[in-house]
Amino acid sequence: MPGCALPHLVALAPKWVQKYETDTFDDDTMQAYEAHIAALERLVGRQALELEFLRGSSATGTTAEKRPYARD
């Protein structure tokens, strides 16, 4: 996957854990991370909907109908 940020994020994970455990994250940094994560989650949600639509699964039933664990 070109331009994948995963190796970069994996390399930063120990630093984030250390900062979290020592409580050295400042509020501005945490808010910036949370905003970035929320934006990425929205993007992933939009892309999932796009894929579902493009695959034509919306014509054959909803995702919840296809997954027995999602129904009561």
Question: pTM to 2 decimals?
Answer: 0.48
Domains contained in the chain, number: 1
Q: Is residue 14 part of a domain?
A: no
Measured distance CA(52)–CA(59) in Å, rounded: 10
Dump pLDDT digits (tens) for 9-36.
677 778 878 877 887 777 888 888 889 9
Measured distance CA(32)–CA(26) in Å, rounded: 10
Q: Is residue 70 part of a domain?
A: yes
Q: In terms of residue numbers, what domain contains 50?
A: 45-72
Q: Is residue 58 part of a domain?
A: yes
Q: Please say if the pLDDT value at position 1 is more than 50.
A: no
Measured distance CA(30)–CA(45) in Å, rounded: 22
